[in-house]
Chain A
Amino acid sequence: MTAPRRGRVINSIGVWVLSAVLLVWTLLPIYNIIRVSMQEKEEVLSTSVFPVAPSPHAFSVVFRQAFWLLETFWNQMGNSFFIGIIVALLTLTIGSLTSFTISRMRIRSGWMLTNAALLTYVIPMSFLAIPFYGIMGKYGLTNHPLAVIAVEVTFATPYAIFIFQQYSASIPFELDEAARSDGASPPQIFFRIYLPLMAPALVAIGTYALLLSWNEYLYAFLLLSGGKVVTVPVTLGKFLVGDEAPWNYLMAAAIIYALPPLLIYYGFRRKMSGGLTMGGVKG
């Protein structure tokens, strides 16, 4: 084999090995979750790679709410949904309006607003938990979903503004000028030109905001108490306290909990194609 050809072969073998390692690294935890959810309780801590007698028994228990810790599972799932969807919609609204104003209408010193918003991330979320609890206490909003919605919108919106601004830099400004010369007012430009072209960024940020509040544990258990308004992560946190350690029910509930954002993103994935403005501006 000639030297360059040998080098290419070694290169491609190396790429295959690296890809295999990364694939196993990424998929092994997911496989583990699925494997544990299909096992019976006694088998969970055994060393079998494949479940001996896989059964969807755990899933049916979660569905029927037949376990004492899962008694209000669907109610809490609805709470998670409610909070997640409202957080996503609010984040998209505030983020798109702000980025439109800053990047399209080009208000003076708009860059200061973006930079100031990004200062939100200087202090970690967990440090701000107790002051947030204090503020919500003063408003009387403890044990109300609105408190968690406020928290999540606060921490999702600056990133949304930043991403929208970066994305709208790729939409040529000549489109807005053309619309202006046709007599469009700013709201019309926003709804007819800006939002449709920003669809990929809207889908991405909407999914991000939904997932941020979907997985929220610290603020959910801090601001909400009582089984009627809490979200599913708080419920799942109670599983490993007692003497039972029902791993299979925990994994089954986790899988069921992970599905809705996946399905939502899957439903919107067609909007994720970019390059919609190619050919929109001549020259």
Chain B
Amino acid sequence: MKRISRRGVLGGVGAAVAAGTGLRPRSAKAAGELTVWWTQGFYKAENDAVIAWMADWEKRNNTKVNLTIMNGPDVITKLIAGMQVGDVPDVVHTVTGDRFLVPRAAWNDQLEDVSDVV
């Protein structure tokens, strides 16, 4: 991924997945736009907090944020499909990601070291 502008670690549960080398983020065509997929929270207040947070970030950094909230298994399925064809969002938050997504990505050499930005 060319640039990571914000880390998406939330609590102990979420995990930001960095798309591996060779994968083009979905919004590469519209530079200055950020595509974010977030897992639907258990409470409505969680979703509201994420939406407010993205709106606040949008205002402070002058970058458009395309936020999509979907339920847990769907996020994993869409991301796996996207990673196989190279069409992925910029930031993803998953709940079961470190069980279903990260080992698979590690096996396929799709993880990138982000210790210099995080």
* Residues in A lying within 8 Å of B, measured CB to CB: 68, 129-130, 133-134, 137-138, 142, 221-222, 225-227, 234, 237-238, 241-244
Considering only CB atoms, which chain A residue lies closest to B83 in the complex? Answer: A130
Among A68, A134, A238, A243, the residue within 8 A (CB) of B70 is: A238
Note all chain B residues with C-beta closer than 8 A to A130: 80-81, 84-85
Distance (whole angstroms) from the CB of A79 to the closest CB of chain B: 15
Distance (whole angstroms) from the CB of B75 to the closest CB of chain A: 10
Note all chain A residues with C-beta closer than 8 A to B71: 237-238, 241
- Taking A221-B78, A225-B68, A225-B78 as contacts, is the C-beta distance between A241 and B26 under 8 angstroms? no
Contact A226 B68 (CB under 8 A): yes
Give the distance in Å from the alpha carbon of A138 to the alpha carbon of B70 in the complex. Answer: 23
Note all chain A residues with C-beta closer than 8 A to B70: 221, 225, 234, 238
Candidate in A221, A225, A234, A238 with the most chain B CB atoms within 10 angstroms: A225
Contact A242 B86 (CB under 8 A): no
Distance (whole angstroms) from the CB of A173 to the closest CB of chain B: 48
Give the distance in Å from the alpha carbon of A244 to the alpha carbon of B26 in the complex. Answer: 33
Contact A222 B77 (CB under 8 A): yes
Note all chain B residues with C-beta closer than 8 A to A68: 44
Beta-carbon contacts of B81-114 to A below 8 Å, as 1s and 0s?
A: 1101111000000000000000000000000000
Distance (whole angstroms) from the CB of B93 to the closest CB of chain A: 14
Contact A129 B81 (CB under 8 A): yes
Distance (whole angstroms) from the CB of A72 to the closest CB of chain B: 12
Give the distance in Å from the alpha carbon of A242 to the alpha carbon of B40 in the complex. Answer: 8
